[in-house]
Chains A and B, each alone.
Chain A
Amino acid sequence: MMETLVRLAIAFGTLSILGFGGGKGIIPQMHDDAVTQFHWVTSEQFAQFYTIGKLVPGPTTIFGALVGYRAAGYVGAAVAAAALFLPSSLLMMLAGAAWRRFSASSWKDVVSVGLAPVVIGLVWSSVFTVAKGTIQGPAAIAIALLITALTLRTALSAPLLIALGAAGGLAFLR
C-alpha cells in the first residue's frame, strides 16, 4: 500500500513538473505509467477516466485522481491529485516571488515558442493513446469524427459535445 502511494506520488509528481502547455502533453506518459508499467488501470478505463476529466469542470488532468483511486483507494486519489497539482503550483509561487527578474528575461519566449511544437506532437500522441483500444468499429469512428467537425465548426462546449457522444453511444454502440 505504502509502496503504491510512493509510486503514485513519484509518477504524478514528475508529470506535474513536466506538464508544459497547460498539462496537455502528459497524457501519453501517464498512460504508460498507469497502464503499461504499474497496471493500475486498463487502457479502456484510462480512456474513460480521461473522458470524465473532460466532462467535469476544472483541469482535465484531475482525472488522475481516479487512477489513484484505482491504485490505492481514496488515499490514492488524494495523493495522485496532490502530486499532480502541488509541484507545478510551487514552481508558480517561486516564479511569482521572482517575477520582476523573470519578466525581463528573453528565454521566456524561447521556452514557449520552442516547446510549442513538442506539446502539439504530444497532443497528437494523446489522440492515438486514448483512441487505441476504445475506438472500435465504424460507429465509434463516426462519432469521433463528427465531434471533431463540430468542435472545429461550432462553438458548442466540451461537456455538451461529450453528452452528444454519449447519446450517439446509446444509439449505435450497444
Chain B
Amino acid sequence: MMPSRRRPGGRAGPSLWELASAFGLISLTGFGGGQRAQIRRQVVSRKHWITDQDFIEALEVAELLPGPNVLNLAVFIGQRLRGVPGAVVSLIAGSVPPFLLVLVAGAFYFSKFNTPLVRSALSGATAAAVGLTLANALELTAATRKRPLNLVIIAATVVSVTYFKLSLVLTLLIFGGLSMVVYAWSKRKTTMPTR
C-alpha cells in the first residue's frame, strides 16, 4: 500500500487505491448531473479530502475546459491530492468501468439476441433519448434567454451546423469567437466608468 502523503493541513491525503475505489464506484453508479453531487459528498462531506471551496473551484475548471465534466473533476481532484499519478489513477477509475459496460451493451447489440422485439424496444429507447436531449436543449435555452444575443447565436449555430454542415472547429471559432468578443466588449463597457 502506498504511504499517504501529508498535506499542509496536517491531514493525511488518500492513497492511490482509495482514489481509484472512490472514483471507480462513482463512475459505476452515477448518471449525468447526479454524479457531481455524489463526488462532492464523497470527497468533501464524507472523506474530507478537499474543502468545499476547493471543490467549487475544481468544478469551475472542469466545466470550463473541454471534456466530460465528471471525468475532468476526477482528474483535477486526483491531481490535487496525489499529483500526476493521482490524476492518471482517477482518469482510469472514472473511464474504464463505463467503457467496459458500454462494450457489454455493444456485445449484446451485435449478438443474435438482438431480435426484432429488442429492436422495437431500442427504437422506443432512441425516441426517449431524443426526448431527453430536446428537454436539455429547452432547459438550457430558457436559462439563457435573458441575453437576446444568445438566442441569435443559438439560432445561427443550429442552422449552420444542421443544414450547412459547418464543422465543429469553425462553429466554435466563428460563433464562439463572435459571442466571446461581444461579451468581453460589453463587460469592459460596463466596468469602464468605475475606473
- Measuring CB to CB, which residues of chain A are less than 8 angstroms from any residue of chain B? 14-26, 28-29, 32, 47-63, 65-66, 69, 74, 77-78, 81, 85, 88-89, 91-93, 95-97, 99, 102-103, 107-131, 134-135, 140-141, 143-152, 157-159, 161-174
B3-11, B12-20, B42-50, B173-181 - the one binding chain A: B173-181
- In the A-B complex, the 5 residue pairs with the closest CB atoms: A169-B124, A165-B128, A121-B157, A58-B98, A88-B67
- Measuring CB to CB, which residues of chain B are less than 8 angstroms from any residue of chain A? 27-32, 34, 57, 60-72, 75-76, 79-80, 84, 87, 91, 94-95, 97-99, 101-103, 105-106, 109, 116-117, 120-141, 144, 147, 149-151, 153-158, 161-162, 165, 167-169, 171-172, 175-176, 179-184, 187
Q: Are A130 and B126 in contact (CB under 8 A)?
A: yes
**When A114-B176, A158-B31 are in contact, do A126 and B133 touch as well, CB less than 8 Å?**
yes
**When A22-B69, A59-B70, A85-B71 are in contact, do A169 and B184 touch as well, CB less than 8 Å?**
no
A115-B150 Cα distance, complex, nearest whole Å? 10
Q: Are B101 and A88 in contact (CB under 8 A)?
A: no
Q: Which residues of B contact A63 (CB under 8 A)?
A: 102
**When A85-B67, A91-B65 are in contact, do A65 and B103 touch as well, CB less than 8 Å?**
yes
Q: Are A92 and B95 in contact (CB under 8 A)?
A: no
**When A62-B98, A85-B95, A124-B158 are in contact, do A110 and B187 touch as well, CB less than 8 Å?**
yes
Q: Which residues of A contact B87 (CB under 8 A)?
A: 89, 92-93, 96
Q: Which residues of A contact B97 (CB under 8 A)?
A: 57-58
Query: What is the CB-to-nearest-CB distance from B169 to chain A, in angstroms, rounded to a whole number?
Result: 6
Q: Are A95 and B61 in contact (CB under 8 A)?
A: yes
A6-B16 Cα distance, complex, nearest whole Å? 32
Q: Which residue of A lies closest to B76 (CB)?
A: A96
Query: What is the CB-to-nearest-CB distance from A116 to chain B, in angstroms, rounded to a whole number?
Result: 6
Q: Which residues of A contact B167 (CB under 8 A)?
A: 29, 32
Q: Which residues of B contact A161 (CB under 8 A)?
A: 128, 131-132
Q: Are A65 and B124 in contact (CB under 8 A)?
A: no
**When A85-B67, A123-B136, A173-B120 are in contact, do A144 and B94 touch as well, CB less than 8 Å?**
no
Q: Which residues of B contact A58 (CB under 8 A)?
A: 27-28, 30, 68, 70, 94-95, 97-99, 101-102
A171-B124 Cα distance, complex, nearest whole Å? 9
**Interchain CB contact (< 8 A) of A143 among B124, B136, B144:** B124
